[in-house]
Structure 1
Amino acid sequence: MKTSLALLGGAVALLLSGPALAEEAAGDWGGILGGQLHVIVHIKKDGAAYSGTLESPDQGAVVIPIDTVTTTPDHLAFSIAAIHGSYDGKWDDAQKTWTGTWTQGQAMPLALKRLDPAAKPPPIARPQEQAISAGPNPYTASDVSFDSRAAGVKLAGTFSVPNGKGPFPAVVLIAGSGPHTRDEDVFNHKIFVVLADALNRAGIAVLRYDKRGIGQSSGDYKAATTTDFTTDATAAVEWLKSRPEVNKNRIGLIGHSEGGLIAPAVAVADPSVAFVVLMAGPGLPGDTLLLMQQAAIARASGEPEAAIATGQAMNKQAFDMIKASSSLEDAQGKAKTLAASLVANGQMTQAQADAAVAQLTSPWFYEFLRSDPRPTLRKVKVPVLAINGALDLQVPPKADLEEIRQALKDNGDVTVTELPGLNHLFQTAKTGAPSEYGQIEETVSPVALKVITDWVSAHAK
């Protein structure tokens, strides 16, 4: 699970209020989320209707459409179902800002100030990526495309092959939750660029691709579920089998975060898959994992224990309701009823309620909340490497790795490793809090890269 603009969850935010006068919402607005992540919101007005987009310069060039914008002279609210996020703020005339709360797995204050068109946040060095870009590199990389035929989707990606005589063993890189391109951009880190480079240098060919509906891939990202992304990963394996540069008997999967939920499902369905690497892959049921994630991140952000307990109770109530629903439509009806009661007793605004209902009952969230990776893991018979960073707050390492270990106990070739000092992105970190991600220059720890490449090299022979 990715954090920042791709963080999972459905916590309810309390509106931060200030002196409210009046302001036109149309225009470009910027703020810093969690003291670290630059956020830019573009609001357009067409007659009486508003629309918008959201982007983060720290997370690459992806621009995310806003689904709904609600505004009055002193109130701005918007929601984005694709990333399960919403914003609710009031106009503070003294500060000349929209002062409010961004809700996406946890509630974080976010003040949006009208942007100077010439203003840009200062760049932060990314030395690993800069070295790869500078080259020379002992491999060739090509833009490719392939069909996910079952869905009628065409996926675009990058296929990188070591120099020399093949055929080579190969891997498919499967990204975590969120609207990721083939680079798996997070806080302006291109995780899959660095990982692919390390694998290529170890003699492994790599296919990485834009998620459906993202980048150059076709399809509808907002309507997609983990099952749909599993179909796409299966299509990626099929495409690799068609390549003369690839040893068809030595194709493996590397899944990061939600990608670690997808990779075992592909391996169980396709016996040609030779090995699987789980980078912070889920071993816990979706609702359990989300509750643990929300509490850990809230605690690292300094929230009082009483507030954390309240948030946990509200989220568990909502999650249990969704899990008990007989269908997505049933879940939507129940969520609306629950939200209406929270609005009536003053615990939420109507804009927050609308955003929460959209978030909790999106196709992806509905499926993920009900997911349990353990039955599928028990069926995986190929070699597995499962790693987590010891400072991971999004996928708690000890509980998660123990579930994976138990699920794979009948598999004869399993390595389960907790890597000291690393966070969810496998960076060398201090606390593991998502607020650190963008400020760390390292994209992926050399320790993690060596663990992965050594294990893959040994199992790709």
Structure 2
Amino acid sequence: MVPERSTRRRLLATVAGVGSALLAGCQGDGDATTATTGTTATTETTATTTTRGPTTTGETTTEETTERTTAEQPDYEATARDLIARLDAGEWERARELVAPSVRPQLTTNQLANAWLGLVGQKGPYRGVADATREPGGVVVLSLSLDRRDHDARVTVDDGGEVIGLRFPPGEYEPPAYADRAAFSERSVTVEDDDCTLAGTLTVPTGDGPVPGVVLVHGSGAHDRNQAVGPNRPFQDLAWGLATRGVAVLRYEKENRACRMPPADQTIDEVVVDDAVAAAEVLGAAEGVRADATFVAGHSLGGAATPRILEQAPDVAGGAMLAAPSRTATTLVVEQVEHVLSLDGDLDGDDQSRLETVREEVERVEDGDVTDGELVLNYPGAWWRTLLAYDQVATARGRSRPLALFQGGRDYQVDPEADLDRWREALPAATVHEYPSLNHFLQPGQGPSTNAGYTFFDNVAEDLVDDLAAWVDRQA
């Protein structure tokens, strides 16, 4: 039976990306600054000074209160450590058993797996707890020792000894070590669309010019010029890294973020292609940039759209396709959802129901049973319609200008085998670079990639930046 539309929306909402905050825990009663930690009941005797009612002598007496026993308190830290140990062992259901029943429905085993695997995937294998501190409200902050970079876990435990909050703070952005800030300058530019002005940043190497240049083209979603995801700024990493290596870079705000776009107007050309073509014109006319050596480098959807951008921009010298899908978006979305729902090793009944709902929505899209203004799986019908009508492989095959492919081996959004094999077959002359440890956002790691992993800070891999800069130099 097909669920009602409202039920379908609720199911789809549970498939959305998991953030770093799994539960917003809040301690109700009690003051952690005075609560006794431990399993041993304590007693305390207090003296109070009492001023009796008016007397002729103004006598003030001190009297001892009766002994009172505080309630037995849980070992907050032990509970927090136990939770982390179970997560590290992959015991998702046992970890969930530590969560208070009142909040357990908000947290699935798959969400726990998503968050933990995302953390250790980006930060490295877990080695133990380096430090533990208590904060008010039953919060235990565990400093987790991880192979690549230590990270905090914030576990909130109630007075009954049950977990009511778990959060892995995402961290803050840091420029990559491979970028030399003294090697380039930046200035503001604008990219003019027919009815929208897009703010941008042009990053230009210092020293003698002119130099080759690259326009960075976003993936799907409403992105800023850095294509920021959580604390990560992959386009800033690329811009600063390439400029350090002698390549100018233009990055700009995506139109569906910068300006109001009615859903029915959000075609692939309006959202991606037209603005990239306009940005390439701005880059080619910029002081210090070679007009005959401008390139586009598209990520994800931007990579798939790169052949179409070249088709519309005859002066662009070539295109780099980063994590670019060769198969249809409807095929990819089902695979992506199934991957995320399977992270705990089990597609249970609820997971199967969610996946079936996605398949039903995909079938509607493929059958053309949606209007241009209708949102389906968070994207307008116009976006789906024009994306399915576009054959990126055939378009790329018809281009004579150089193309290069850059693909991570841990990318669950673009299959490093199925998608890359189609590109190889269609483009035997294309340069292909593979990076076994990189995820979809071109960051190094290990183990399965997860969408929660994108919420933890890291930089684009240096070897990819080196390879992209070298490819541009060879083509220029």
* Interval of TM-score (by shorter of Structure 1 and Structure 2): 0.5 to 0.7
The answer to whether the 8 A contact 2:303-2:324 is kept is yes
Partner of residue 189, structure 1: 232
Report which of the two structures shows the higher radius of gyration computed on alpha carbons.
2
The one-letter amino acid paired with 1:34 is: V
Give me the TM-score of the superposition, normalised by structure 2.
0.62
The one-letter amino acid paired with 2:229 is: V
When you count strand as a share of all residues, which structure comes out higher?
A: 1
The one-letter amino acid paired with 1:457 is: D
Alpha carbons of 1:324 and 1:192: their partners in 2 closer, same or farther (altered >3 Å)? Answer: same
The answer to whether the 8 A contact 1:129-1:190 is kept is no
Unaligned 5+ runs, structure 2: 1-7, 25-99, 109-113, 116-155, 157-166
Mapped partners of 2:243, 2:255: distance in 1: 25
SS in 2 for 1:183: coil
Mapped partners of 1:218, 1:98: distance in 2: 38
Partner of residue 189, structure 2: 144
Give me the TM-score of the superposition, normalised by structure 1.
0.64
Partner of residue 437, structure 1: 454
SS in 2 for 1:141: strand
CA RMSD in angstroms, aligned pairs only? 3.7
SS in 1 for 2:274: helix
Find 2:363's aligned residue among 297, 314, 320: 320
Partner of residue 231, structure 1: 274
Mapped partners of 2:286, 2:13: distance in 1: 54
Partner of residue 453, structure 1: 469
The answer to whether the 8 A contact 2:178-2:241 is kept is no
Q: Which runs of 4+ in 1 moved over 6 A?
A: none
Over residues 312-360 of structure 1, what are the superposed CA-to-partner deviations in whole Å (9 max), with x where a residue is unaligned?
444333322222227726x95xxxxxxxxxxxxxxxxxxxxxxx75736
Question: Aligned pair 1:154/2:197, yes or no?
Answer: yes
SS in 2 for 1:208: strand
Mapped partners of 2:107, 2:384: distance in 1: 24
The answer to whether the 8 A contact 1:154-1:219 is kept is no
**Deviation, structure 1 residue 393:** 0.5
SS in 1 for 2:182: coil
Unaligned 5+ runs, structure 1: 1-9, 17-31, 41-92, 102-106, 114-119, 333-355
The one-letter amino acid paired with 1:146 is: V
The one-letter amino acid paired with 1:226 is: I
Partner of residue 421, structure 1: 437
The one-letter amino acid paired with 1:375 is: A
The answer to whether the 8 A contact 2:12-2:357 is kept is no
The one-letter amino acid paired with 2:433 is: T
Alpha carbons of 1:314 and 1:428: their partners in 2 closer, same or farther (altered >3 Å)? Answer: same
Partner of residue 220, structure 1: 261
Alpha carbons of 1:293 and 1:358: their partners in 2 closer, same or farther (altered >3 Å)? Answer: closer
Over residues 263-319 of structure 1, what are the superposed CA-to-partner deviations in whole Å (9 max), with x where a residue is unaligned?
211112222111111111111112112222222222235441766655444433332
Question: Aligned pair 1:406/2:425, yes or no?
Answer: yes
Over residues 139-177 of structure 1, what are the superposed CA-to-partner deviations in whole Å (9 max), with x where a residue is unaligned?
11011112123xx22111000111112221111001111
The answer to whether the 8 A contact 2:173-2:233 is kept is no
Question: Aligned pair 1:128/2:128, yes or no?
Answer: no
The answer to whether the 8 A contact 1:144-1:159 is kept is yes
The answer to whether the 8 A contact 1:429-1:436 is kept is no
**Deviation, structure 1 residue 363:** 2.9
Aligned length: 338
The one-letter amino acid paired with 1:239 is: V
The answer to whether the 8 A contact 1:211-1:221 is kept is no
Mapped partners of 2:283, 2:216: distance in 1: 12
Partner of residue 384, structure 1: 403
Partner of residue 245, structure 1: 288
Over residues 199-224 of structure 1, what are the superposed CA-to-partner deviations in whole Å (9 max), with x where a residue is unaligned?
1011111100001142xx44427542
The answer to whether the 8 A contact 1:301-1:433 is kept is no
**Deviation, structure 1 residue 37:** 5.2
Mapped partners of 1:140, 1:39: distance in 2: 42
Mapped partners of 1:123, 1:414: distance in 2: 37
Over residues 387-432 of structure 1, what are the superposed CA-to-partner deviations in whole Å (9 max), with x where a residue is unaligned?
21111011111101111122224xxx41123211111111111221
**Deviation, structure 1 residue 442:** 2.5
Alpha carbons of 1:268 and 1:308: their partners in 2 closer, same or farther (altered >3 Å)? Answer: farther
SS in 2 for 1:328: coil
Mapped partners of 2:13, 2:232: distance in 1: 31
Mapped partners of 1:233, 1:429: distance in 2: 30
Alpha carbons of 1:100 and 1:433: their partners in 2 closer, same or farther (altered >3 Å)? Answer: closer
Alpha carbons of 1:366 and 1:305: their partners in 2 closer, same or farther (altered >3 Å)? Answer: farther
**Deviation, structure 1 residue 251:** 0.6
The answer to whether the 8 A contact 1:278-1:384 is kept is yes
Mapped partners of 1:438, 1:260: distance in 2: 22
